[in-house]
Structure 1
Amino acid sequence: MNHYLDTNRANWNDRASAHATRVGGLGYDIQRYIDDPALLSDVARFDRERLGDIAGLRAVHLQCHIGTDTLSLARLGARVTGLDFSPVAVAEARALVRDASAGSGAGTDIRAGTVDFLESDVYDAASVLEPASFDLVYTGIGALCWLPRIDTWAQVVARLLKPGGRLFIREGHPILWTMDETESDDLHLRFSYFEQAEPLEWDDDSSYVATDRPLTATKTYEWNHGLGEIVTALLDAGLVLTMLVEHDSVPWEALPGQMVQRPDGEYALGARAGVAPLSYTIQAVKPA
């Protein structure tokens, strides 16, 4: 298992530096967050109403990558800790928050929120952070597919939440992860919908956003988790499901040649519009 983890970490170290470029139109185009102090990430903005008022909440953003969603939560008033297993991603996230705060004289203060970052594997989060101390555990899109066991993740979430606290996650739908993105003539279900012991192995020098160079650490390992497996894992961890919304769009062109971009930046199926869910939002609460 360490081989899978180390290989994925090398890939995400490589991606983090490419995604954090300040060249406009490449990577996450992060200069926008520095130039516009009110800007929210596409992921955070999509679920803004479902997320509700988070001002003053203590939040942890698991698998935070370079911190654009983390910064967005802080701009909504939360006190946020971003956690990621990539040291390069953590360094880039700190740099983003530092530069986004420059000129305000507030250090790392973003409006009413404060941001810090911690390097750790997500499975170790409840060991490096204070258990039962968070009002909100947040996870953005494209995170769960890197985890071999969804039940272990759910137990970590439950340990981090204080009584009455909640998990909020938007993620790519497991039906999407079964589709072969290299086939552009139609939807092709090729990969397992359900969690498997052995991962899918990929070797690709590109990323899901445009970059100014190919990746050099190209191998990755991924696991799918069925929606029922995810919900059951949360229930088994003692959480109460309070929201499950399936969406017909995702924030990137997941199936090239088969998607149309909407005015809000989301991508939806074109000719096959509405035939499959592409992402979902879940909220679950730890009983008081």
Structure 2
Amino acid sequence: MTNWTELNRAHWDERARPHAESPEYGIERFVADPTFVSDVVRFDLERLGDLRGQRGVHLQCHIGTDTLSLHRLGARMSGLDLSGASLEQARSLAARTGAGIEYVQGEVYDAAQLLPRGAFDLVFTGIGALCWLGDIRRWAGVVDALLAPGGRLFLREGHPMLWSLADPRADGVLAVDFPYFETAEPLVWDEPGSYVTTDHAFQHTRSAGWNHGLGEIMTALLDRGLTITAFEEHDSVPWDALPGMMEQLPNTEYRLKDRPERLAHTYTLQARKPA
């Protein structure tokens, strides 16, 4: 049986340095400008609200640009990721910017054993994270275990309808080809490149992922006793998700050129643990 965790760890370990060196992640801009925050965090600034003094944890933090951005908004941040190579880049960025961020290596499902239980006012999960997890109910249990009473989950993700679409077609038709709901076995991809600008010739090209329907995600959180306090679907996404069919917006997000109202591209969900 294939160890999907190890497959994905190798995938992300190899991408850590090329991502940190790419223009898309803007590492040098973070270093040069102490007020700079990532495009992902900037999109949700009003929804995030005042984070000053809050203790936060960023699950699946990758190279730490969103984590640093939340730190710059006033939260006392920790970050957790599967990839040791990604955390090397995250720690380097924190050191170069003088940010006191704690980074811990481990699987999401082990987070409540690796981080203080019930200690966080904010659990943050960003774009392109849940698709690497095979069991959304276990994830919801981890969120519940980490949150302090009254604490908040903040999640922005690619919409499961976007993840279910086939590759772009010449006739512009949006065709559903992949599962919308969680499946026992993952979809396995074999892709030579990455989503950033890089000349790196990747050796670890295979990865495994899962989709999760909106109902599955919300039900998993509700079953843990959390209250969903906000949910918004968006007609934009922070990368060129359907090449040839999308246009870039002034806020650096992308959306369908033709009738973008046809597709929910991403969503923001907030949930709170009862006080």
Superposed pair shares fold, TM > 0.5: yes
User: TM-score, structure 2 length as denominator?
Assistant: 0.97
State the one-letter code of the partner of 1:144: L
Letter of the 1:147 partner, please give it. L
Cα deviations by residue, 1:98-130 (Å, 9 ceiling, x for unpaired): 1122xxxxxx3xxxxx31111011110001111
2:109 aligned to which of 123, 146, 157: 123
Report runs of 4+ in structure 1 exceeding 3 Å deviation: 182-185
Instruction: State how 1:74-113 maps to structure 2 within 5 Å.
Output: 74-101=71-98, 108=99
What per-residue deviation string (whole Å, max 9, x for no partner) do you get for residues 234-280 of structure 1?
00111000000000000000000000000000001011311010100
- Give unmatched runs, 5+ long, in structure 1: 102-107, 109-113
- Cα deviation for residue 181 of structure 1 reads 2.7
1:231 maps to a residue whose letter is: M
Distance 1:2 1:36 in 2: 44
* Distance in structure 2 (CA, Å) of the matches to 1:2 and 1:134: 34
| Structure 1 residue aligned with 2:178 | 191
Within-5 A mapping of 1:198-217: 198-217=185-204
- Which residue number in structure 1 is paired with residue 271 of structure 2? 284
Instruction: Say whether the 8 Å CA contact 1:157–1:167 is kept in structure 2.
Output: yes
Aligned-residue offset at 1:229: 0.5
Q: Identity across aligned pairs (percent)?
A: 55
The DSSP-based 3-state class of the residue aligned with 1:169 is strand
Does structure 2 conserve the Cα–Cα contact (< 8 Å) formed by 1:151 and 1:233? yes
Residue 152 of structure 2 corresponds to residue 162 of structure 1:
no
Q: Distance in 2 between matches of 1:99 and 1:18?
A: 18
| Contact kept in structure 2, 1:184 and 1:258, CA below 8 Å | no
- Deviation (angstroms), 1:167: 0.2
Take 1:225 and 1:87, find their aligned partners in 2: how far apart are those partners?
Answer: 26
Q: Which moved more, 1:61-70 or 1:264-273?
A: 264-273
Count of residues paired in the alignment: 274
**What is the SS of the residue equivalent to 1:192?**
coil
Shift of 1:20: 0.8
The answer as to whether partners of 1:181 and 1:254 remain within 8 angstroms in 2 is: no
Over aligned residues, Cα RMSD in angstroms? 1.2
